[in-house]
Amino acid sequence: MAWRSKRKVMHAYNVTAEIYDGRYSLEQHRKYRKALENVDVSGVNVLDVGCGSGLFFDEVTDKASMVVGVDVSKKLLIKATRRVAKNMHVLQADADHLPFKDGAFQAAFSFTVLQNLPKPQRTLQEIRRVTGKGCKIAITGLKKAFLQTAFHDLVEQSGMQTEVFYDVDEINCYIAVLSA
Ligand SMILES: C[S@@+](CC[C@H](N)C(=O)[O-])C[C@H]1O[C@@H](n2cnc3c(N)ncnc32)[C@H](O)[C@@H]1O
């Protein structure tokens, strides 16, 4: 059942892959800037869960040791591949079943992805699993999909420490930076 809904999401993003950057780049970069004010990626392994076309890659590639992007949409991943530098990798994977060992990353980001997942708390725990203890996770919740209280509860109930929580008028997501 969960996989059926994920397949629908995958299909929807495949269909809109060509127009994604033109439509969302500006908005997404606002989120990246806010998240990166609170997460230092210097010299660490960075995970971008639901990386889409890789818009975030340019923001971290120069500083991070390694950047890995995962996404279910093959069409968006093809676009992401064009942005890949030598310290980067992209792969097709489900955010609920990340093909990495525990604590493989020292920083994780997931921008505008959780609204697509049937059990966002489960997804959050999976991102936590692959992120080292005490390391930072920046996650956003689309305002159209989550009430502010619901998204706040989601991050609070994750068992992680909330370092910052933004609800900024000109950004269409809440942004939470958590300590894994
Ligand atoms: C609104 S886009 C955001 C893309 C990217 N994070 C950005 O900042 O531009 C949502 C992304 O989540 C991906 N996605 C949806 N469900 C997923 C899942 N189960 N596992 C991994 N990625 C998923 C979609 O394919 C899409 O690329």
d(CA 140, CA 119): 15
Note the pLDDT of residue 88. Answer: 95
Q: Cβ distance 141 to 116 under 8 Å?
A: no
The whole domain housing 104 covers: 2-179
34-83 residue pLDDT tens: 999 999 999 999 999 999 999 999 999 999 999 999 999 999 999 999 99
Domain containing 16 — which CATH number?
A: 3.40.50.150
Answer yes or no: is the C-beta of 111 below 6 A from any ligand 1 atom. Answer: yes
- Give the chain's domain count: 1
> Which of 71, 79, 126, 171 should be mutated for ligand 1, with most atoms under 8 A from CB?
71
The count of C-alpha atoms lying within 13 angstroms of the C-alpha of 78, restricted to the half-sphere facing its C-beta, is 8
d(CA 105, CA 152): 24
Note the pLDDT of residue 1. Answer: 63
Task: Tell me, in angstroms, the distance from the centre of ligand 1 to residue 55's CA.
Answer: 11
pLDDT lower than 70: segments of the chain: 1
The residue ranges of DSSP E strands in the chain, in sequence order, are 45-49, 66-71, 88-92, 105-110, 131-142, 161-166, 173-179
- DSSP-derived 3-state class of residue 49: strand
Note the pLDDT of residue 58. Answer: 94
Q: Cβ distance 92 to 72 under 8 Å?
A: yes
* Cβ neighbours of 8 (radius 10 Å): 11
Answer yes or no: is the C-beta of 117 below 6 A from any ligand 1 atom. Answer: yes
d(CA 179, CA 133): 8
| Locus of tokens 């069409």 | 75
Note the pLDDT of residue 2. Answer: 87
Note the pLDDT of residue 67. Answer: 98
